[in-house]
């Protein structure tokens, strides 16, 4: 699935569930393996898929933070009281 699809999915998560998902994805990415065998059982994970999901989850979390609290680096300029004349 593309990151956009995961973003759509993660937008339906609660804030708490999204935070838990990000924590788990970070652990999964750090401990990721491409292929591992144990006895007769083989496990395979796609690191790119995990990274895509983590990226999508973090983007959704950032969207929420910017929407709720705004960006502290932005502001509104007021020219009230300024005199405009010739220079």
Is 56 part of any domain? yes
- Is residue 13 pLDDT above 80, yes or no? yes
Q: Which domain holds residue 60?
A: 3-67
Q: Is residue 25 part of a domain?
A: yes
Query: Is 78 among the domain residues?
Result: no
Is 18 domain-assigned? yes
In angstroms, what CA-CA distances link 3 with 28, 39, 48, 51? 17, 34, 11, 9
Kindly state the percentage of the chain with pLDDT values over 70.
69
Q: Would you tell me how many other CB atoms lie within 10 Å of the CB of residue 83?
A: 5
Residue found under tokens 């006895």: 39
Tokens found for residue 3: 């990151």
More confident call, 68 vs 57:
57
Residue 71 has pLDDT above 80, yes or no: no
**Residue 8 maps to a domain:** yes
Task: For residue 36, tell me if it sits in a domain.
Answer: yes
Residue 77 pLDDT class (50, 70, 90 cuts): confident
pLDDT, mean of residues 22-35: 83
- Average pLDDT of span 10-35: 89
The verdict on residue 7 lying in a domain is yes
Number of domains observed in the structure of the chain: 1
Measured from the Cβ of residue 28, the count of other Cβ atoms closer than 10 Å reads: 16
């Amino acid at each position: 699935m593309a990151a956009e699809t995961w973003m759509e999915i993660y937008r339906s998560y609660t804030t708490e569930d999204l935070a838990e998902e990000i924590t788990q994805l970070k652990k999964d990415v750090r401990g990721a393996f491409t292929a591992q065998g144990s006895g007769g059982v083989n496990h395979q994970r796609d690191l790119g898929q995990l990274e895509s999901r983590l990226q999508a989850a973090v983007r959704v979390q950032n969207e929420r933070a910017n929407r709720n609290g705004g960006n502290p680096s932005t502001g509104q300029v007021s020219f009230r009281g300024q005199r405009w004349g010739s220079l």
